[in-house]
Structure 1
Amino acid sequence: MQFQEYAYQHMDALSLQKQLSELAEQIQQAKTIEQVQDCIKKVDTIRRFVATQVSLVEIRHTVDTKDAYYTKEQEYLDTVLPELEKDYEKINRALLESTFLDDLKQRLPETFFLQKEMDLKAFDPIIIEDMQEENRLMTKYQALIASAEIPFDGEIYNLSSLEVKTNSSDRQVRKRALQAYWNWFEQHEEEVAQIFDQMIKVRTRMAQKLRYDNFIALGYARMHRYDYDQEDVAKYRRQVLEDVVPLCSALYKRQQKRLGYDTLHAWDEKVEFLQGNPTPKYDRAELVKRAQKMYHELSKETGVFFDFMVEHDLLDLDSKPGKAAGGYCTFMPDYKSPFIFANFNQTQHDAEVLTHEAGHAYQIYESRDIYPSDCVWPTYESCEIHSMSMEFFTHPWMQSFFEEDTNRYYYSHMAGSLKFLPYGVLVDHFQHEVYTHPEMSHKERMDTWRRLEKEYLPHKNYEEVEILERGGWWMRQAHIFMSPFYYIDYTLAQVCAMQFWARMENKDPKAFEDYQHICKIGGTLPFRKIVKEAGLIVPFEEGCLAQVTGSVSQWLDEISEEELTA
């Protein structure tokens, strides 16, 4: 069965609510642990069904945001899903209050119960209308970004497809492309600002109703941060400032010198080499074919996985009008199928999608049979270990994607991985600031971004791009709107992935075996335990960042400019 044949079923919310409510009562009245376990299985069946339908709507809506049917279904789900949370809450409370709880904890993954505890901290029926409003605002932002139609050199581009021009080897082309890209945001600045302001207000209102000081604690609970807190994150951010920002500043200076420019402008940052960035030498169909061969050679398991993705048409990779921006991997439990959504744009990003998103998909494929299905996915920072590490484990095959540009790809990828850390931490720090001070005006939020940007990214030069000089970059970062506090996760995972890379460099025969192990255990453990299961150092530990990023920086320093410009 191919993806097009996966059947979508409009959810009967009242029927689902009735079933969940009855199951909550049965858990409360259960006389044996077997009766409770039977209820958990029935709840799991409902959760799998709901997750499948939600993913089908998400995929078909984002593939074509102009499709009226799935736009309407997305709007329906925006209203219905918060209502279902009320009934899931009854289930969670009944489980955590069950007289059989201790015995259940011996039989089910520890994260199953940690998740229920977090969900109770993050929900109360009094916030249902606010959750519905938040969903509507997220859909509105996504639709606005997807609606972009930007004229450039006689053609019309969306935001994703225009990015290829911002990577052009022609400095004037990428300058004009970057200005056109940000001119669109300037023209829609008021609308974006209003959406975000409303989001902050509704999220703050939810937090206050749940008796939190602000949205931050609620945001952490919604992210299921089981084993680290705001203090851990603040210490980690300080380590990035001290240990990583100086290394990145040196990389930007080297880049400027390599390009031969007096100043590295905003439109120069994405270009590492005068002849242009490395680009895959083939179209989408050929890249997928080569990726399939790569995954067969990487391991038997990855080969089986990628065959499944291709044979079931579970990759939508082409950028096209009306398609939502960005990329993601989702999962349809009832079909045991991951799905990869992306916007190819003829840059090295295309190869990275086939490794990054495939890392997510491989993990979910390997752990798809975990029960309960709530534990198939780990928390986000753990998920990103799978994706970012896969980017490094596939390095030996990049020759077949980039041909003569392979060495430049290695450098660009490694340098980009290091440079990303301060940016990822900046996104997180900005969110802590705006939710600590929800009363901020749009200008104050812009000023806050620019102030923090000067700390984490001191090299930034926004001359001739006025909206960026005012602090507007955050408006393009969808996570800030769609998944608050989901971003530092990438940096934590990147530090873990770099450790896998170092083990590969040192010819550690267990590196990929450990990677496959954490893919198979899915979300059955919290973040710190998953990192230790992988044989890695937890990024929060003192000295971890200095050690890991220092080894990457040294590797980059050992590559001569002659090798890169040959």
Structure 2
Amino acid sequence: MEKDFKNLNIDVKGWEDLKGYYDDILKRNINSQEDLLTLLEDFSSLSEFVSETFGWAYINMTRDTQNKEYRDRFLVFNDEIEPKMKEISFEILKKIVNSKYISEIDQEKWGLLIKRFKNEVDIFRKENIPIDTEITKKTMEYQQTIGSMVIKFKGKEYTLPQMSLFLQSKDRTERKEAFESLVEKRLEYSEKIENLLSELTELRNKKAKNANFKNYVELRFRELERFDYGVKECEEFHNSVLRIVTPIYGEIVKEKAKKLNLEKVKPYDLSATLPDEVVLKPFENTEDFIEKSKKVFYSVDRRFGESFEKVVNNKHLDLESRKGKAPGGYNYPLYKTGLPFIFMNSSGIHSDMRTLMHETGHAVHTIAVKDLFTFFYKSTPSEVAEFASMGMELLTYDKWDIFYKDEHSLKQAKRKQLENIINFFPWCAVVDKFQHFIYSKENISPSERKEYFKNIFNEFSEKFVDWSDYEDYMKISYHKQLHIFEHPFYYIEYGIAQLGALQLWINYRENPKKAIDDYLSALNVGSSLSISEVYKKANVKFDFSEKMMEKLINFTYDEYKKVAC
């Protein structure tokens, strides 16, 4: 009996429930252009169904980590189904790209997807599968090591994220003690983490060698499908940040020193709450949070309000923090139904409001791609996905008075937003530049890594901060950036997306309706166009130049000064 791929409705309990559908596609003969298109459509429908089924397993598990049934179902997908699905999906990709009819199908429609499929087939090596398994084990070891770090402070035990609250204290002695407790703990584990990084770089270099690449940088850029930019453009980004953003970052540090009445700013002063700052409380409870957010989105654009309301009305929203709920926040795109799920852990603080603005940008994006003809164009590269979310933060910026009625709190909230944007760029450049170095050649020693990191960290930002007494920690402060260990080279995307979002914001200030129309027009195409073409649709440039950086950062700093105390 012929299988109906468009209306799949299977209760997936294990791989056997899906295997027949994948086998059906793999065993087909492709004797015409029509056969190939039917295969592509059915493979898209199957992948979309599996993606959404896995999505719900993940969502349910994170909403209630104590629920054994949810946990077991997620593990079936993660440990049993996904590895087998990846293996057979790759065989299907090979079948597609090796078909003699591939050049006959509409290249304008399918061309970019075929390019991605061919790239995946080109870089695949069977001998890299066990290496990937080993890499996953090492990254899990990193996660477990970081997760196990508990600090005894003032008679209580705290995790590393919890300790960051003390670094915001108005009491400098408390900040110093908290920072030194963190430093002590990080240094205690530094050798273990450094050894893990050595093992990870060695494994990744081996992967590159197996796939006939000069180094891991080349392989990783192909894995990340960076067809629009390369090492040269990343270097341009680093140089633009150094010349344009670093001096302005220095001015912000100096302003902070003045407000805190300090001659020298120490690393434990950077997150300090300023004397005139208050505890920001944007909403009273979850109901208030949802209502105010709805009001913000509708006041910016009716389409944003409707998208958010759709999520709320379908109960695809879980905002409160509670026992047994996984940490963090996300927007899970459920592409089959075209409706996302927003998950977070709110506690009534300012960052909750910013997170919901951000995740709703992703949600609007999920809804925007609903009618694309293939599932494979619905998911987007991070440079595009984060443009949608960071763009939404700035599009809503002028409506934050809905959350903050008094002028002082409103200015403080806006100042924090813009300060975070400016301060992020130097760190983003350091993280990316550091990775280019550690994968540039084999056998780079831990001491070489530390020395290189210290030099660039100092060059990009820390020359404005007095690190005396803490140099040993400064050299290993990249240990806190999980991307370096778990997702190599995946970080500059946030910087690129922020450049796009800032251009969008300038456009919005000049012509709100056109800017939003352009933004939605870009979101609608998903990944059916290249990154630079998607940006063009949004009327923003894919540009890392010093000139562009200067325009955007000067605009941001001018806005920052308007809300400075």
**TM band (smaller chain):** 0.7 to 0.9
Indicate which of 522, 526, 538 corresponds to 1:518. 522
Q: Quote the offset at 1:553 in angstroms.
A: 2.4
Please tell me the residue identity of whatever aligns with 1:253: K
- Structure 1 residues 166 and 54: CA distance shift in structure 2, 3 A: farther
Q: Quote the offset at 1:149 in angstroms.
A: 4.6
Residue number in structure 2 paired with 1:44? 44
2:98 pairs with 1:94: no
Residue number in structure 2 paired with 1:535? 539
Report the secondary structure of 1:226's partner residue.
coil
2:237 pairs with 1:236: yes
Residues 278 and 408, structure 1, Cα contact 8 Å, conserved in 2: no
Report the secondary structure of 2:370's partner residue.
coil
Please tell me the residue identity of whatever aligns with 2:31: K
Q: Superposition pairs for residues 388-537 of structure 1, below 5 Å?
A: 388-404=390-406, 405-457=409-461, 458-463=463-468, 465=470, 468-469=473-474, 471-537=475-541
Residues 298 and 304, structure 2, Cα contact 8 Å, conserved in 1: yes
Residue number in structure 2 paired with 1:544? 548
Residue number in structure 2 paired with 1:386? 388
Deviations 1:471-494 (A, max 9, x none): 222222222223221110111111
Report the secondary structure of 1:340's partner residue.
strand
Please tell me the residue identity of whatever aligns with 1:408: Q
Q: Quote the offset at 1:155 in angstroms.
A: 4.9
Residues 153 and 178, structure 2, Cα contact 8 Å, conserved in 1: yes
Deviations 1:81-105 (A, max 9, x none): 4553332232222222323223424
Residue number in structure 2 paired with 1:209? 210
Please tell me the residue identity of whatever aligns with 2:128: I
Q: Superposition pairs for residues 143-542 of structure 1, below 5 Å?
A: 143-153=144-154, 155-271=156-272, 273-276=274-277, 279-283=280-284, 285=286, 286-318=288-320, 326-344=328-346, 347-404=349-406, 405-457=409-461, 458-463=463-468, 465=470, 468-469=473-474, 471-541=475-545
Deviations 1:321-360 (A, max 9, x none): 7766544333233443323344446543222101112211
Residues 316 and 341, structure 2, Cα contact 8 Å, conserved in 1: yes
State the percentage of identical aligned residues: 22
Q: Superposition pairs for residues 61-76 of structure 1, below 5 Å?
A: 73-74=74-75
- Aligned counterparts of 2:327 and 2:337: Cα–Cα separation in 1: 25
Report the secondary structure of 2:341's partner residue.
strand
- Aligned counterparts of 2:377 and 2:485: Cα–Cα separation in 1: 26
Indicate which of 23, 26, 34 corresponds to 2:25. 23
Structure 2 residues without counterparts, runs of 5 or longer: 1-8
- Structure 1 residues 289 and 153: CA distance shift in structure 2, 3 A: farther
Please tell me the residue identity of whatever aligns with 2:38: D
Residues 121 and 221, structure 1, Cα contact 8 Å, conserved in 2: no
- Aligned counterparts of 1:419 and 1:30: Cα–Cα separation in 2: 54
Report the secondary structure of 2:331's partner residue.
strand
Report the secondary structure of 2:333's partner residue.
strand
Q: Quote the offset at 1:31 in angstroms.
A: 2.0
- Aligned counterparts of 2:194 and 2:540: Cα–Cα separation in 1: 41
Please tell me the residue identity of whatever aligns with 2:281: P
2:123 pairs with 1:104: no
- Structure 1 residues 66 and 118: CA distance shift in structure 2, 3 A: farther
Residues 385 and 496, structure 1, Cα contact 8 Å, conserved in 2: yes
Residue number in structure 2 paired with 1:77? 78
Q: Quote the offset at 1:544 in angstroms.
A: 1.3
Deviations 1:355-396 (A, max 9, x none): 112211221122133232121122111111111111111112
- Structure 1 residues 63 and 437: CA distance shift in structure 2, 3 A: farther
| Range that drifts further, 287-296 or 192-201 | 192-201
Please tell me the residue identity of whatever aligns with 2:524: K
TM-score, normalised via structure 1 length: 0.87
Report the secondary structure of 1:307's partner residue.
helix
- Structure 1 residues 186 and 402: CA distance shift in structure 2, 3 A: farther
Residue number in structure 2 paired with 1:3? none
- Aligned counterparts of 1:46 and 1:284: Cα–Cα separation in 2: 40
Deviations 1:201-220 (A, max 9, x none): 32222221111122212211
| Range that drifts further, 396-405 or 215-224 | 396-405
- After superposition, the CA RMSD in angstroms is 3.1
- Structure 1 residues 173 and 341: CA distance shift in structure 2, 3 A: farther
Please tell me the residue identity of whatever aligns with 2:397: H
Residues 531 and 538, structure 1, Cα contact 8 Å, conserved in 2: yes
- Aligned counterparts of 1:180 and 1:71: Cα–Cα separation in 2: 35
Residue number in structure 2 paired with 1:133? 134
Deviations 1:167-187 (A, max 9, x none): 233333333344444444334
Structure 1 residues without counterparts, runs of 5 or longer: 1-5
Deviations 1:488-507 (A, max 9, x none): 01111111111122223334
Deviations 1:211-261 (A, max 9, x none): 112221221122111211111111221121122212221222122222221
| Range that drifts further, 118-127 or 343-352 | 343-352
- Structure 1 residues 210 and 527: CA distance shift in structure 2, 3 A: same
- Aligned counterparts of 2:21 and 2:76: Cα–Cα separation in 1: 23
Report the secondary structure of 2:404's partner residue.
helix
Report the secondary structure of 1:436's partner residue.
coil
